[in-house]
Amino acid sequence: MNPSVLAFPGATRTPTAHSNLVLSEVGLVFPVGGRIEAFDAAGSPRGVMSFSLYPGQSVFLIDVLRQLGVAGLEGGQIRVTKTEGIGLLWGLLATLTDDGGVAVSVGTNP
């Protein structure tokens, strides 16, 4: 499996919660590049940024919605699209709340 798109439901940025995104190139041989997009619950785009990963590299984006310029969002989606390279892309979205709760979503191919 070598998906070109990974979708992560449940993206949140509120005063009491935020989502972190971890992306990795797990093939260990080829680089990969692409874009990270945020969508609200209705499917409207809210923010976008580019990324690139070398073979075996991981990136940890703390409060990914803030990094995408999204001021607030509940129940949104993060979509990661591979736009260059043939490396293997993997990721997860972890949403943390002030009360110590954690919800984890593994990227799925929509």
pLDDT at position 2, please?
78
For residue 57, what is the domain's CATH number?
Answer: 2.60.290.11
* pTM: predicted TM-score of the whole model, two decimal places: 0.92
Strand boundaries in 16-57, DSSP class E: 17-25, 32-39, 45-53
Amino acid symbol at 24: S
Residue from 18, 1, 8 nearest 79 by CA: 8
11-61 residue pLDDT tens: 999 999 999 999 999 999 999 999 999 999 999 999 999 999 999 999 999
Domain count, the chain: 1
- Residue 1: pLDDT over 70: no
pLDDT digits (tens, 9 = 90+) for 45-103: 999 999 999 999 999 999 999 999 999 999 999 999 999 999 999 999 999 999 999 99
Domain of residue 64 covers 5-106
Q: Please provide the average confidence, as pLDDT, over all residues in the chain.
A: 94
